[in-house]
Amino acid sequence: MIVKSKGIVLSYMKYGDTSIIVRIFTEEGGYGSYIVNSIRSQKSKKSIGHFQPFTILDLVLYVKETRDLQRISEFKSHYPLHNIHQDLIKSSITLFLTEVVSKLLQSEQSPNPELYVFAEESIKAFDEIVKGVGNFHLQFLLKMGPFLGYAIDDIDNLFSSTDKLVPTNENHEIMDSLMKEPYGYEVKMTRESRSTMLDTILEYYQHHAHISKPKSLEVLRSILN
């Protein structure tokens, strides 16, 4: 069956001598793994750069329901990103978020069009923002929760769902701003507060979605610090 869909690249790994296996969140099919044949061949007319994390693609997929690994037959850029892959901080945040999102979506392998729209619009905003870049991952994970069925719509609910202590009044206000304000809004906080917020959000998802600690977490911390 041929399926046309937009998709957000999360990661890829080499497969065989010239191919790759890509993990993509598609609008029509949800999270899945797809093989791209001969993309690493010297004769390939397409660039493997299409499969950088958070790249948004127009896809033609060859789907066979009896297979776990589907095939991408055609692809092209849907929306060119100008800054995410060139900026060190943005690229580090992107690698961290794609790892977390992959973990969260492994049990969400059915279409979730509302989540897809949220993710795509968030990526576009991230590519454009100049201010508040260092807080984007916090906002993204907070805003993503309701689309996965997790009611992170109240700060007290978020903190009481973990083993963390009740936040200080200052951190309470920071979290409230992160949840409510648009991307690019500058929420000023200390390095320690940002680290505490991230630990709390990750603990929430570890508690509810049973995801493991992201391997890229320490790399992100070192870049942001």
Average pLDDT, the chain: 88
Same domain as 72, residue 109? no
pLDDT at position 63 over 80? yes
pLDDT score of 156 = 65
pLDDT (tens digit per residue) in 33-58: 999 999 998 888 888 999 999 999 99
Report helix, strand or coil for 26.
strand
Confidence tier at 206 by pLDDT (50, 70, 90)? confident
CATH number at residue 65: 2.40.50.140
Tell me the C-alpha to C-alpha distance, in Å, between residue 35 and each of 7, 20, 38, 52, 102.
14, 6, 10, 15, 17
Same domain as 59, residue 109? no
The domain of 72 spans 2-79
Same domain as 213, residue 161? yes
Residues 163, 86: Cα–Cα separation, whole Å: 37
Residues 15, 168: Cα–Cα separation, whole Å: 49
Judged by average pLDDT, the poorest of 61-65, 101-105, 119-123, 136-140 is 61-65
Angle at 105 between CA 101 and CA 111, to 5 degrees: 125
Instruction: Choose between 85 and 153: higher pLDDT.
Output: 85
Same domain as 114, residue 211? yes
Same domain as 111, residue 43? no
Tell me the C-alpha to C-alpha distance, in Å, between residue 192 and each of 188, 196, 213.
12, 6, 19
pLDDT (tens digit per residue) in 65-91: 777 788 999 999 999 999 999 999 999
**Minimal CA–CA distance to 161: which of 100, 203, 196?**
203
Same domain as 72, residue 36? yes
pLDDT score of 221 = 92
* DSSP at 15: E
Query: Which residues share a beta bridge with 57?
Result: 7, 77
pLDDT score of 168 = 66
Same domain as 92, residue 75? no
Backbone CA torsion sign across 54, 77, 61, 112:
positive
Report the amino acid identity of residue 111.
Answer: P
pLDDT at position 165 over 50? no
Q: Which two tokens mark 188?
A: 């000023």
pLDDT score of 58 = 97
pLDDT score of 159 = 61
Residue where one domain finishes, among candidates 25, 57, 79? 79
Provide the residue count of the chain.
Answer: 225
**Minimal CA–CA distance to 72: which of 106, 38, 98, 44?**
38
Same domain as 100, residue 128? yes
Domain count, the chain: 2
Strand 30-36 and strand 69-79: the pairing is parallel
Residue where one domain finishes, among candidates 18, 45, 79? 79
Same domain as 99, residue 8? no
Range 186-210 average pLDDT:
85
CATH number at residue 92: 1.20.1440
pLDDT score of 174 = 83
Same domain as 155, residue 217? yes
Instruction: Choose between 96 and 154: higher pLDDT.
Output: 96
| Predicted TM-score of the model (pTM) | 0.91
Residue where one domain finishes, among candidates 79, 99, 129? 79
Q: Percent of the chain having pLDDT more than 70?
A: 91
